[in-house]
Amino acid sequence: MEEIINERVPEQSRPIIEFRGVSKTYPTGTHALEDVNIRINNGEFVFVVGSSGAGKSIFMKLIMREEKANTGIITVNGFNLTSMKRKQIPLLRRTMGIVFQDFRLIPTMNVFQNVAFAMHVVGASDRNVRKEVSKALSKVGLGNKARSMPAQLSGGEQQRVGLARALVNSPDLIIADEPTGNVDPNMSYEIVSLLTEINKRGTTVLMVTHDHNLVRDFQHRVIMLDRGKIVADNAGGSF
Amino acid sequence: MKVSSVRYLVKEGAKNAWVNRLMTLASVGVLVACMVIIGLAILISENVNKAVGKLEQQNVVMAYMKDYNWALYGDKTDASSTDTSSAEDSAAQTSEETQQTEEQADENGIKNSDYVIHNDDEAKALCDKIAQLDNVASVTYVTSDEGLESVKKSMLEGQESYFTFLDDKYGNPMSGAAKITMKNMEQFDDTVNQIKNMDGIDTVQSQNDLADKITAIKRGITVAGFWIIAILMVIALVIVSNTIRVTMYNRKLEISIMKAVGATDSFVRIPFVVEGMIIGLISAVLAEGLLYFCYRVATETIISTLGTSDIVRYGDVAWWLLLVFAGIGVFAGILGSVIMISKYLRHEGSEFSAI
């Protein structure tokens, strides 16, 4: 770990995500991102907005190192993603929690097992799994639904299970890819409120959304993408 | 890797095999069929080897000696011409020739120097010399009387009287002989030549054709067995890979979540490898049972119809076959799953989005 992480300083001002001159072009010649420069500090809550094809997805994929930039330097949580070796990717991902728009719960597992799954993958002991999963489910208000199957839950509840799964390994960074896209407006507010709570406890949150109302009401930093470029970066929910 | 992780992964592998039971069953079925055919090929090859081994034992070479009877019935002038193989022999011959002038012929006109093997001790010494050759498995001295008896026995009824006549009038026409069996039929001709060149040997009677046929049969079985096993191994590998591929696509969602939360490639891979191994091991056990049943029925039928009991017993090869089957199963299981999952994991950019 020491070799990979470059001096991780837990300061508010330390950048948790940094893009310097990052461009990504697909083999077809499409420019997905062009010369992006951005810095997101530790403990920030950032909305990423933009229309379809603006480059939001590729922005997230580059942070998760699902894809690699063609040019520029990306640093996430102290990992240099540009020079990172394939076998180091799991270590990067263990420092972040991911919330998907389509929840991605395993239908054959109950709520507890779905959350525990994320801990088993990183080799946690059974005892630790029991303790941390219960804690994470309580945080998202699903302590009494541990034995329910995903199909028995509402969309909002399923997304909260997804959130508990993202939280259970105590990550430094939460990446939420349109987490309110498949839930009703009331539940959307609940989910962003939960993310805000998590953020207040020190976890950085990066959330992609299309919902202008949420962005306006929660008053966080907003990064706007358009045709692969950052066209606005405003603090305080305006764009 | 921690013990809890290993336990979890093994459990996941077993669960995969169960959840995907229809495909597991199909794979087990095909694998069992492959293993039974491989097992049959091995058993047939063992039985043929056993039979060929018996034939080898029966493929006896008779080396007839230059003894008194040979001198009596054979060409006496050959006696001296055979002693030219070495300088030492030539010296001995010269001294014999000197003695020859003083020697008296017996009532049949045979002198001591007309033949090489004068008594049983010399015959046995020659047999010992033959036994020292690398490729000789056994040597038995057959006296001229035993030889005659053996020939008489091999004749059809009534024809043996011809030998009785010879025996009565001229004495035993058979020479003493060394009855030889060989270790390796592929060196048959070389060994026969070595024996022929020995001092005291008149002629060597052998069945070159049979030796050649035995060698060809053995070679054929080895080559056919190799190809059968190789082809079936490839089939087994393809079958297991396909099952793993189906499981993998069924579990795309789990794999994507695993990757998202930081699972290593080996962590993702292990349940599939365990599933492959389970398929292989179940197949091995079933194939062993099925082959035992089939072989037992087949051998009982052969024994009752042909009356031969000279067949390889299943018990003698049971453990060995189980090991071969388990080896094939585990090898196909591990390799099939590793190939499939590695191919999938290497495909970058599809970890979270391609569900």
Q: Are residues B256 and B342 in the same domain?
A: yes
Expressed as residue numbers, the domain containing B152 is 60-206
Domain edge (last residue) among B189, B206, B223? B206
Q: What is the pLDDT of residue A24?
A: 93
Residues of B in contact with A102 (CB under 8 A): 355
Query: pTM of whole model > 0.80?
Result: no
In sequence order, the β-bridge partners of residue B204 are B63
Residues in chain B: 355
Q: Quick count: other Cβ atoms within 10 Å of Cβ B91?
A: 11
Token pair in block for residue A224: 């706007």
Q: Do A66 and B352 touch (CB under 8 A)?
A: yes
Amino acid at A157: E
CB burial of residue A16 (10 Å; 0-12, 13-18, 19+): buried
Residue linked to tokens 């072009």: A25
Interface of A with B in 133-152 (CB under 8 A): none
- How far B6 CA sits from the closest chain A CA (Å)? 9
Report the DSSP beta bridge partners of residue A174. Answer: A97, A205
* Same domain for B264 and B233: yes
Question: Of B11, B251, B257, which to mutate for an interface test with A (greatest number of A Cβ within 10 Å)?
Answer: B257
Which pLDDT does position A21 carry in this prediction? 94
Domains: count for chain A: 1
Alpha helices (H) in chain B, listed in sequence order: 3-19, 21-58, 68-73, 78-81, 87-100, 120-131, 144-154, 160-170, 188-196, 208-250, 252-260, 265-306, 314-346
Q: Does residue A117 have a pLDDT over 50?
A: yes
Read off φ and ψ for residue A227, nearest 5 degrees: 45, 45
Does A130 lie at the interface with B, CB-CB under 8 angstroms?
Answer: no
Q: Which residues of B touch A92 (CB under 8 A)?
A: 262
A61·B349 Cβ contact <8 A:
yes
Asked if residue A224 is part of any domain, the answer here is yes
Q: What is the pLDDT of residues B70-92, one digit of tens each?
A: 877 765 544 444 444 444 444 44
- At B275-333, the pLDDT tens digits run 888 888 999 999 999 999 988 888 888 888 877 767 888 888 888 889 988 988 888 88
CA distance A76 to chain B (A): 14
Number of folded domains in chain B? 2
Domain that holds residue A113: 43-55+90-234
CATH number, domain of A214, equals 3.40.50.300
Q: What stretch of H or E contains A164?
A: helix A155-167
Decide if A79 is inside a domain.
no
Shared domain for B22 and B126, answered yes or no, is: no
Non-local CB neighbours of B178 within 8 Å, separated by 6+ positions: B62, B63, B65, B123, B126, B127, B130, B139, B140, B141, B142, B195, B201
Nearest in space to B113 (alpha carbons), one of B122, B121, B104? B104
Looking up residue B79, the CATH number of its domain turns out to be 3.30.70.3040
For chain B, the C-alpha Rg in angstroms (whole number) is 34
Whether residue B193 contacts residue B61, with contact meaning beta carbons closer than 8 Å, is answered with no
| Backbone phi and psi for residue A30, each to the nearest 5 degrees, phi listed first | -70, 130
Q: Report residue B66: phi and psi, to 5°.
A: -85, 80
Q: What is the mean pLDDT of residues B20-29?
A: 82
Q: How many helices (H) and strands (E) does chain A have?
A: 7, 10
Q: Does A12 touch chain B (CB under 8 A)?
A: no
User: Average pLDDT for residues A174-203, to the nearest whole number?
Assistant: 89
Rounded (5°) CA angle B21-B24-B26: 110
Does residue A158 form part of some domain?
yes
pLDDT tens profile B221-238: 888 888 888 888 888 788
Helix (H, G, I), strand (E, B) or coil at A23: strand
